[in-house]
Amino acid sequence: MKHKRELQSFWRKNARLQLQTILYNTNFDDICRTVEALDQSVALAMSDQLVVDAVFILGDGSPEPVLDEKKLEKLQALCSVIKLKYDYFDANLGTAAGHNRMGFNADESVDFIWIQNPDVVVMPRLFNVVLDSFKRPGVGQVEAKQLPIEHPKDYDPVTGETEWTATACVMTPRFLFDKVEGFDANSFFMYCDDVDFAFRIRELGYKTIFQPAAVCFHDKRLDADGGWMPTSAERYFSAEAALIMAHKWSYPELCNKILSYFLSTNEEHLLKAAAAFKKQQLSGALPTPRDPDHIIAKFQEGNYAKHRYAL
Amino acid sequence: MRNIDTHSKPGLQLIDSDMLFRKSMNGFRDVTLEALDVLKSFIPPAQDDAIHIDIGGKCRELAPFLKKDLGIEYAAIVSAVEQFYPDNKIKLESWNGQNQSDFLASLKKIANGRRISSFSILDSLDFLYLNNHLLKIVVQLSKEHDAYILLGMPNSMCFDNTARLMLGQQANFQNKIDGSSAGLVLSVDTFEQELSTNGLHIVDKTNILSKKKIDRDSTDHPIADGNTELGNFFRYIRSISDNDVSEISYFLRLCLAGQSKRNIKEDLPTPASSRPFLSVIMRTQGKRLHTLCEALLSLYAQTEKDFEILIIGHKLDDDRISAVSKIIDEQTLEMRQKTRLILVEKGNRTLPLNVGFAEAKGRYISIFDDDDVVFANWIEVFKDLHKSSPGRLLRSLCVRQSVRNAKVDGQLGLRAEDSPKRLYADDFDIFQHLRGNNTPNTSLAFPRGAFHDLGLKFDETLTTTEDWDFILRVALLLGVANSKIVTCIYRWWENDESSRTEHSEREWQKNYSIIQDKIDAHPILLPAGSSKRIRSLLDDKDRLASFEEHLKSASFEEHLRKVETQLADLEHQVRISVSLRIARLIPRPVRKIIRGCLYFMWKYLGVKALFMWRQRRSSC
């Protein structure tokens, strides 16, 4: 009840945005396209006086810097409204720690933080649509829809309410980012850090919204049978994260079941994920379980939310 | 345009490729007669002293008729090298050489201060074509005198000629008027383009039809003879084009002089290397702006950037025009530069495709409707296919996904309702496509030549399945290059208006029958290996018939026994499958113990004992 009293609308005219992404050996042409699309989208939001200022932080966790001064100048030349900043991490921090580094260092005046993958391009009116959803009190996050493969997690077709949001393309009020102390970088390297982040925002009573009218293109492909083609990193880190999620969000039986399954297979990435979890377990590094009554985290059929269809 | 069939005119003499114009006045019923008809229908009888100048002097027989019917004097100007036909009724001016001032002086001398009502240039275009400055003088004089210019050219591209040329044989390029060998062989399109380039605006087109049926005694040529399959097939290829001139013997064009329509350089065909690789034709009715945004975004994300977008707005009202224009204006600079909005105000859903294909500059052309979406490698895969199989119809894989609209916070979006489904065949099978379409539009790229060179067009009489009809006709002629990479999603509307719901089942069936009939109306070209396929299909049919026969003759008990045996086999297979599945559920350590026991039995009790144990088990 306490939470409900505190709920507010984060919408404001002439908002200040921080846009952030993490590069990892990203192709320069792809970065150009991402920057160009973001700039166009911010420019349209500015023309409607929704946004007054936007800075785009390009974090880089690559072994060697992806951008040099010349390339950065070239990128800045593509922009009519947004300011670019380059932050070379000099280490592969993963998505959780990487976004925390940029988010916690955001300028005091920043109202919203937009997080996206480096291979995502946004539609021209993206920010107009996303910011509009913040007019509703209690909206804590707004996620854009990904093309060409839409995420199958369920959402209310009228309110847009959903269980969690993906940081492939999501807007979070700066206030909430600070309030939940960003991503849980101690528990997650990449994958499921966003699920956990969204759950913690919902713990505060805020709603996470999926807005199908806000669209991003995320370059994903299907195999010849129309099935999902996960990368090897996706397979390993999502396996590792699955154990931690089950543990952190108070599903001990599920956690054990997953662990047993991983140990019973011959698949290297699963065995490796199980070993990493056991190591954390033994060293006491696992996070403290929360939400014992499963009010927030409702795992269903191996997913972190109800899915509309299998992918 | 008028196509004059000389067969149908009572009292007119037939004209065919072997017949020369120069006949006695009694037989004067051909090109000159048509030329006279054309002139008479545009030029009023002269009230003053007017003259018609015949450049090249090929229609001297017009002289008495022009005088009698229109009150116009006839005069001709011919080159000095031409044979001179003295005729006291006709003033012939001989002109020597190619000198511009001589030519103008000769024309002025003929006119002698009189008004020039018209010029005729029949069969002499090559002479003027090669001396472009001389044609300019005629155009200039025509402007000064408001004179019509009647131009005529024999059809070098008649069926007989092109059939022979295809086989590398000598064609019969003759001037129809005097039978001399034609110096310049022009297609009618080039002919008209040349007129336009020289500032000649066509006000009347008359095509004179040749004899329709080839005289069996006059030719043994296997193609020119329309009775052979090859001849029929070739005739079909020629007939595809809207501008089929294979049966025309002579073209007459009446023009007025004006400004040159285009720069000559613009008329030159664009080299393939300077064309975009792909033209994307996107039909929109402006009803689903949210899906149009998605479609454009997926194009912006393409890894291969060598493309243009033609958004064909079909029957858009003012509000929708501005809404679609706004979406285009809001795109990035790169996208705006690639995109053209073309408005089509009439026709059914097929017309926008023909308009789009006609406007397309790309080497390949794809249809991408405004409610579908493509993967980032859509164009890249087409380009790879083109590299390995240039000129064919390019095909990749498409999945289907059900969608419906969702409105969150008053903003209309699209919501996927199920998994992307693989419903379309991996490979393009022409035999399957003869029965129905198994390839969504978006997964195809059509070579531009199919439309622009062969003249294949979407059938505007079809209200549905126009794509299947077009795909089939292109695939049968050009073949298909296939990729097994998924590159696009065909959106299937669950509860909203689409072409599927807009048309009745009866309408779909009617269009289906029309397409089948069209394909059966002429010979088709099947790819290599088709005879094997047909044999196999016929073998299957025979086997099925034999099995059916056997079913009829065999006794019921025999069948029952067979079925029982098959069931027993199946049960055995299921038991093994279940055993294996159960085995997987047994924890690994227990499985190891069982394995050890079996190994012990085999090693120390012998294989026979193990076999007996298994037999005992199965007999239980």
Report the chain B residue with the minimal C-alpha distance to residue A45: B330
B297, A144 in Cβ contact below 8 A?
Answer: no
**pLDDT confidence band for B263 (50 / 70 / 90):** low
The average pLDDT across A211-216 equals 98
Query: What is the pLDDT at residue B26?
Result: 31
**What pLDDT, in 10s, does the model give residues B249-259?**
888 999 999 88
Q: Is the pLDDT of residue A1 over 50?
A: no
Asked if A152 and B294 come within 8 Å (Cβ–Cβ), the reply is no
Higher pLDDT: B609 or A230? It is A230
Q: Which one of B411, B412, B422, B495 would you mutate to disrupt binding with A, by most A Cβ within 10 Å of its Cβ?
A: B411
Query: Which residues of chain A make contact with B424, given a CB cutoff of 8 A?
Result: none
Question: What pLDDT sits at residue B593?
Answer: 81
Residue B86 clears pLDDT 80, i.e. is over it: no
- Rounded average pLDDT over B443-472: 93
Q: How confident is the model at residue B85 (pLDDT cuts 50, 70, 90)?
A: very low
What are A278-306's pLDDT values in tens digits?
A: 999 999 999 999 999 999 999 988 899 99
Lowest mean pLDDT among B120-129, B408-417, B585-594: B120-129
Which residue of B lies nearest to A156 if distances are taken between CA atoms?
B408
Residues A91-139: pLDDT tens digits? Answer: 999 999 999 999 999 999 999 999 999 999 999 999 999 999 999 999 9
Asked if residue B470 lies in contact with residue B357, where contact means CB atoms within 8 angstroms, the answer is no
Q: How confident is the model at residue B21 (pLDDT cuts 50, 70, 90)?
A: very low
For B272, list phi and psi in degrees, rounded to 5: -55, -35
In angstroms, what is the C-alpha Rg of chain B? 36
**Separation CA B61–CA B28 (nearest Å):** 8
Give me the mean pLDDT over the A234-254 stretch.
93
Give the pLDDT score at B261: 66
Q: In this predicted model, which residue has the larger pLDDT, B388 or B103? A: B388
Cα distances from A249 to residues A191, A253, B443, in angstroms, run 15, 11, 44
CB contact under 8 Å between B407 and A44, yes or no, is: no
Which of A174-188, B405-419, B460-474, B539-553 has the least mean pLDDT? Answer: B539-553
pLDDT value at residue B57: 79
All residues at 6 or more sequence positions from B57 whose CB lies less than 8 Å from its CB, including other chains: B76, B77, B78, B82, B85, B90, B92
Mean per-residue pLDDT for B83-102?
A: 53
Q: From A213, which residue of chain B is nearest by alpha-carbon distance?
A: B413
Chain B residues within an 8 Å CB radius of A222: 375, 399, 420, 486
Q: How confident is the model at residue B184 (pLDDT cuts 50, 70, 90)?
A: low
Whether chain A has a CB inside 8 Å of the CB on B418: the answer is yes
Alpha helices in B312-377 (DSSP H): 318-329, 333-338, 351-359
Please name the amino acid found at residue B120.
Answer: S
Task: Report d(CA A166, CA A187) in Å as an integer.
Answer: 17
Q: What is the mean pLDDT of chain A?
A: 94
Say yes or no for a CB contact (<8 Å) between A121 and B290.
no
B301 to A224: CB separation less than 8 angstroms, yes or no: no
Q: Under a CB-based contact definition with an 8 Å cutoff, are residues B195 and B259 in contact?
A: no
- Judged by CB atoms closer than 8 Å, whether chains meet at A224 and B489 is answered as no
pLDDT at residue number B451: 95
| Structure confidence at residue B13 (pLDDT) | 29
Over its C-alpha atoms, chain A yields an Rg (Å, rounded) of: 19
Q: What single letter denotes the amino acid at residue A182?
A: G
Looking at per-residue pLDDT, the higher value among B172 and A188 belongs to A188
Q: What is the pLDDT of residue B129?
A: 62
Least confident of B102-116, B128-142, B153-167, B428-442: B128-142
Question: Residue B501's pLDDT is what?
Answer: 65
Q: Is the pLDDT of residue B7 over 60?
A: no
* B290 to A217: CB separation less than 8 angstroms, yes or no: no
Listed by number, the residues of chain A in 126-145 with a beta carbon closer than 8 Å to a beta carbon of chain B are 129, 132-133, 135-136, 145
- Least-confidence region, from A16-20, A179-183, B107-111, B421-425: B107-111
The answer to whether residue A20 scores a pLDDT higher than 80 is: yes
B297: contact with A, CB 8 A cutoff: yes
Alpha carbons B405 and B371: distance in angstroms, whole number: 11
Closest partner residue to A157 among B406, B420, B588, by Cβ?
Answer: B406
B289-347 pLDDT, tens digit per residue, is 999 999 999 999 999 999 999 999 999 999 999 999 999 999 999 999 999 999 999 99
A225–B contact, CB cutoff 8 A: yes
Neighbour tally for A265: CB within 10 Å: 12
Among A259-268, B72-81, B206-215, the least confident range: B206-215
Q: What's the mean per-residue pLDDT of chain B?
A: 82
Q: Which residues contact B422 (CB under 8 A, 6 or more apart)?
A: A224, A225, A226, B397, B399, B486
Residue B334's closest chain A neighbor by CA?
A36
Residue B154 pLDDT = 83
Range with lowest mean pLDDT among B147-151, B212-216, B242-246, B498-502: B212-216
Identify the pLDDT of residue B342: 97
Range name among B40-54, B202-216, B443-457, B507-521 with the lowest pLDDT average? B202-216
Q: Does B426 touch chain A (CB under 8 A)?
A: yes
Task: Output A51 or B274, whichever has higher pLDDT.
Answer: A51
Q: What is each CA distance from B495 to B401, B402, B480, in whole angstroms? A: 13, 10, 34
From A145, A217, A310, residue closest to B413, measured CB to CB: A145
Q: Which of B374, B408, B418 to mutate to test the interface with A (most CBs of A within 10 A)?
A: B408
Which residues 20-59 of chain A have a CB within 8 Å of chain B?
33, 36-37, 40, 44
Please report the pLDDT score of residue B180 as a whole number: 59
Whether residue B330 and residue A40 make contact (CB cut-off 8 A), yes or no, is yes
Contact A224 B485 (CB under 8 A): yes
Please state, as a whole number, how many other Cβ atoms lie within 10 Å of the Cβ of residue B183: 14
B410 pLDDT more than 60: yes
Lowest average pLDDT, out of B26-40, B82-96, B393-407, B481-495, goes to B82-96
The predicted pLDDT at position B530 comes to 94
B578: helix, coil or strand?
Answer: helix
Banded model confidence at residue B555, pLDDT cuts 50, 70, 90: low
Residue B289: its chain A contacts at CB < 8 A? Answer: none
Tokens 């699920």 belong to A195
Q: Which of B331, B376, B411 sits opposite A211 (nearest CB)?
A: B411
Question: Helix, strand or coil for residue B393?
Answer: strand
Report CB contact under 8 Å: B298, A217: yes
Across residues B368-396, what is the average pLDDT?
96
Residue of B nearest to A264 (CA): B588
Band (pLDDT 50/70/90 cuts) for residue B537 is: very high
Residue B83 has pLDDT above 70, yes or no: no
Q: What is the pLDDT of residue B25?
A: 33
Lowest mean pLDDT among A24-33, B24-33, B458-467: B24-33
Cβ-defined contact of A308 to B376 (cutoff 8 Å) = no
Taking contacts as CB-CB distances below 8 angstroms, the residues of chain B near A158 are: 406-408
Measure the CA–CA gap between A261 and B242, rounded to whole angstroms. 67
Cα(B231)–Cα(B220) distance, integer angstroms: 12
Distance (Å, rounded) from C-alpha B403 to C-alpha B421? 12
Which residue does chain A place closest to B374, by CA atoms?
Answer: A148
Residues on chain B touching A160 (C-beta within 8 angstroms): 408-409
Residue B399 or residue B557, greater confidence: B399
> A309, B418: Cβ pair inside 8 Å?
yes
Average pLDDT over residues B137-156: 89
pTM of this structure: 0.81
